[in-house]
Amino acid sequence: SLALHSVHLEREQWLSEAEACEKGAAPRTAQAIVREAIGLGVEEEDRKRMWMEDADSLVARGCPECARAIYAVALTTFPTKKSVWVRAAQHEKAHGTRESLDALLRRAVSYCPQAQVLWLMGAKEKWQSGDVEGARAILNEAFRANPDSEQ
């Protein structure tokens, strides 16, 4: 281990290495670095804010896989935070596949069943891809999870 040999890199240095890996066609290595480094030196109360800022910054610098890794850590850390799910879904819509977005939204509503926006995002994606029955099924499931909702 690097720590055994007194080699200590700061969080920002690790994220720069991850960025270099992604740009060097090694996205899985980049994601692994992000998963290990993202929490270094970050106070618990600052994690969500800083991680969302980091994800935005990495996307702006052309590193959507690094950002995806940040969202994965954030969703594990904050599984009931609707705002994190929405941002992760927006990221998947912009940088992922329909399948990855659908899978993420399915997970999102399992953790946040009262988050109507997540249900609606899923239904809209199904509808826009021509799967009207799939959209209808999602809306029916959403109504069962939120019987008092009028949205």
Q: How confident is the model at residue 89 (pLDDT cuts 50, 70, 90)?
A: very high
- Per-residue model confidence as pLDDT tens digits over 65-86: 999 999 999 999 999 999 999 9
Q: How confident is the model at residue 3 (pLDDT cuts 50, 70, 90)?
A: low
Q: How confident is the model at residue 142 (pLDDT cuts 50, 70, 90)?
A: very high
For residue 1, pLDDT beyond 60:
no
Give the Cα-Cα-Cα angle 67, 71, 75 (nearest 5 degrees): 175
Contact predicate 56/83, CB 8 Å: no
Give me the chain's average pLDDT, please: 93
pLDDT in the model for residue 4 = 55
Task: Name the CA radius of gyration of the chain, rounded.
Answer: 18
Q: How far apart are CA 48 and CA 151, in angstroms?
A: 28
pLDDT in the model for residue 9 = 76
Cα distances (Å, whole numbers) of residue 141 to 67, 109, 122 = 30, 10, 11
pLDDT in the model for residue 150 = 64
Please give the single-letter amino acid code of residue 2: L
For residue 63, pLDDT beyond 80:
yes
pLDDT in the model for residue 8 = 61
Q: How confident is the model at residue 34 (pLDDT cuts 50, 70, 90)?
A: very high
Question: Residue 122, exposed/middle/buried by CB under 10 A (0-12, 13-18, 19+)?
Answer: buried
- Per-residue model confidence as pLDDT tens digits over 121-138: 999 999 999 999 999 999
